[in-house]
Structure 1
Amino acid sequence: MTLDTSFEHRILITGANGFVGYWLQEEFKTRQREHDITIFPVGYSTTEGRTLDVREYDDIVDVVHECRPTSIIHLAAMAAPTEAHKIPRVAWDINVTGTMNMAYATMEAAPAAKFIFVSSSETYGASFNEFMGEPVGENVVLKPMNAYGASKAAADVLVGQLAHDGLNTIRFRPFNHTGPGQTDAYVVAAFAKQLAEISIGLRPPVMSVGNLLAHRDFLDVRDVVRAYADSALLDFPSTRGQVFNLASGRTLQIQDILDTLIRLSGQKIDVQVDPQRLRPSAVASASGNATAVYRAMGWKPEISFEKTLADVFEYWKARVTDS
């Protein structure tokens, strides 16, 4: 690992107006004392930074030329699996064509820049079932089972291929991550929002839930963005062209997450299973082996998941109180 404090880091972040993009920018703010950092946030229909549609190649080339980035962190994606299922053509256009555009624009306009691509654990899909809950490594066959996972897998493979054509890239496959600010389209935020509304009397103390049996590998978003920031700011020669899981290596049952949030809320809740929400999970258990990223970069999760849940609940309490 090389640390050069005299080097100017010019970092272009796509999807900067999203949940992860916000926390990534916050992470870079904490690094300003150690590094000379200039951030160029771009997003689709953004109110901060520059608007950029990753489906428009010429616009991307113009942005890359203007920014002269040393690193590009490509977060832009249709990230919600349910949304990708509803409009799969748009998901493929953004997640695959958009990634291809960003990668080729990098090679054309900033060939020396690092291209940090954020893939997903959803790319493993059915392979999780073959491991019976054991953590999977990066060499497991990608067998995505939904439009989101398939589109991210295609983009992942594309970026890996372009590494052989000279793209200075690193790929991350983060497992489930949450934190303050995540929308209630995701399970932890959905639970926390309901509990926050109950806590101030906006709804009765009854929660309607679906399948609570699935086991998933959860991380705090603040741990996840630390890996992205490290890869942009520090020189890890062993990471070039590589792909890394970001995972804890353990699973939590959705039921346990709900129970912890209820305990943190200090409330007595009647949990009712809604048959309309009760869809069996195609993957009973999913977790990742993150040994490779620890060996290459020294990354491992640092934030306890109970703290994560407490922070998410407090975020939603403040949000529903102010609304």
Structure 2
Amino acid sequence: MTAGTSFEHRILITGANGFVGKWLQSELKSRQSNHSIDIFPVGHGTTTGKAIDVRDYDQLVDLIYGYQPTAIVHLAAVAAPAEAHNAPRLAWDINATGTMNMAYAAMEAAPQVRFIFISSSETYGISFNECKGEPISENVILKPINAYGASKAAAEAVVAQLANEGLNTIRFRPFNHTGPGQTDEYVVAAFAKQLAEISVGLRPPVIKVGNLSAQRDFLDVRDVVRAYADVALFDFPGARGEVFNVASGKTQQIETILNELIGLSGQKIDIQLDPKRLRASIVSIASGNATAALRTIGWKPTIPFTKTLIDVLEYWKERVS
């Protein structure tokens, strides 16, 4: 794709081959009947789009200059907290330095582009405890407690700095989100996969668990990408330079999620506590206040969480069978 294309919207998505990136592509494609949209997916390694390395600044400048996007949705990251913990240097290189490279390259190669940075609720860290279970707002101090959250917070600092230097940018802090296609590195998908395997006799009717007491703010990924697509396609003057929680304002206890999935599966399951999986949760309750997103860009979640669980369970049933 070269500069000067006739498409009204030219959306460049980094991390496009990941769980959220695929759903964002689907959301944008669903809008192509009403809008002139060209989607340019890029990612690291094997990808359906162009392969890039966000650590290579010159490569990013060439990419952005050649495509001249109207918006960049920067999803590329070492996204799983456990993976970031196990490979902290890689997490910092991709999440922090990679984001800095993308933002500076955008300013150099396409100064008018809207740069949409996807951060994380993990940036809040210990501040969740200080809010005593109340939904957290964007003005709370970031106090990350793991490599993933810290590297995302550092990336946010760079993007916020560049907003003051002319970068047209919006930052999002999404809370836990799940849906069909998520890997079993994440709790909802892990439970659903095990239940699907039990249903076809691949494992005994036993699920071994660790700490189920944590409460988290869960969303459907399809609601989340709707927010990203909206700001990629439309200009919200009040959103420029701002940061928004993407959250429901409600919490789901992990134990309740497991019990609901078991109920939806229609199976009799023995839940066993596994001491090897038992870890104390530093943050017991985490939820977000998304009033700013509703007020500024008109976003709020619409998909009932039970539907999300049904769809995740069905996805894994199809995969294991």
Partner of 1:12: 12
Q: Structure 2: any 5+ residue segments left out of the alignment?
A: 1-5
Secondary structure of the structure 2 residue equivalent to 1:276: helix
Count of paired positions: 316
Distance in 2 (alpha carbons) for counterparts of 1:63 and 1:47:
16
Partner of 2:127: 127
Alpha-carbon distance, 1:7 to partner: 6.7
TM-score with structure 2 length normalisation? 0.98
* 1:202 and 2:189 matched: no
**Amino acid corresponding to residue 55 of structure 1 in structure 2:** R
SS of residue paired to 2:277: coil
2:291 maps to which residue?
A: 291
What is the distance in 2 between the residues matched to 1:158 and 1:46? 28
Per the alignment, residue 272 of structure 2 pairs with 272
Q: TM-score, normalised by structure 1?
A: 0.97
Q: Which residue of 2 aligns with 1:60?
A: 60
Q: Which runs of 5 or more residues in structure 1 are unaligned?
A: 1-5
> Are 1:7 and 1:35, in contact at CA under 8 Å, matched by a contact in 2?
no
Compute the displacement of 1:33 (Å): 1.3
The residue number in structure 1 matching 2:262 is 262
User: Where in structure 2 are the equivalents of 1:204-223 lying within 5 Å?
Assistant: 204-223=204-223
Instruction: Tell me how far 1:182 sits from its aligned partner.
Output: 0.3
| Partner in structure 2 of residue 105 of structure 1 | 105
Residues 128 and 285 in structure 2, CA contact (< 8 A), matched pair in contact too: yes
Which residue does the alignment assign to 2:188? Answer: 188
- Partner residue in 1 for 2:163: 163
Distance 1:65 1:38 in 2: 16
In structure 1, the residue matched to 2:82 is: 82
- What does residue 149 of structure 1 align with? 149
Contact 2:23 2:222 in 1 (8 A): yes
Secondary structure of the 1:116 match is strand
What per-residue deviation string (whole Å, max 9, x for no partner) do you get for residues 68-115 of structure 1? 100000000000000100110110000000000000000000000000
Distance 2:52 2:271 in 1: 43
| Matched-pair contact (CA < 8 Å) for 1:73–1:115 | yes
2:3 maps to which residue?
none
Whether contact under 8 Å (2:206, 2:272) holds in the other structure is: yes
CA contact (8 A) 2:249 2:288 kept: yes
Match of 1:243 in 2: 243
CA contact (8 A) 2:61 2:105 kept: yes
Partner of 1:306: 306
- Mapped to 2, the partners of 1:46 and 1:174 lie a distance apart of 26
AA aligned to 1:179 is G
Equivalent residue number for residue 93 of structure 2: 93
Partner Cα distance (2:116, 2:297) in 1: 14
| Partner deviation per Cα, 1:30-71 (whole Å, 9 max, x = no partner) | 110111000110000123110001000011111101111000
Q: Deviations over 1:233-284 (max 9, x none)?
A: 1111000000000000010100000001000000000000100000010000
What is the percentage of aligned positions where both structures have the same residue? 73
Look up the SS of the partner of 2:101 in the other structure. helix
State the distance in 2 between where 1:27 and 1:309 align: 20
SS of structure 2 residue aligned to 1:281: coil
Task: Answer whether contact 2:7 2:38 (CA < 8 A) is retained.
Answer: no
Quick one: distance in 2 between partners of 1:257 and 1:234? 35
The aligned amino acid for 2:267 is Q
Residue aligned with 1:197, SS: helix
The answer as to 2:14 corresponding to 1:31 is: no
Aligned counterpart, 1:3 = none
C-alpha distance in 1 between matches for 2:22 and 2:313? 18
Aligned match of 2:41? 41
Q: Point out 4+ residue stretches in structure 1 off by more than 2 angstroms.
A: none
Asked if the contact 2:123–2:149 (Cα under 8 Å) also holds between the matched residues in 1, the reply is yes
Distance in 2 separating the partners of 1:320 and 1:156: 39
Question: 2:228 aligns to what?
Answer: 228
Matches of 1:79 and 1:33, distance apart in 2: 32
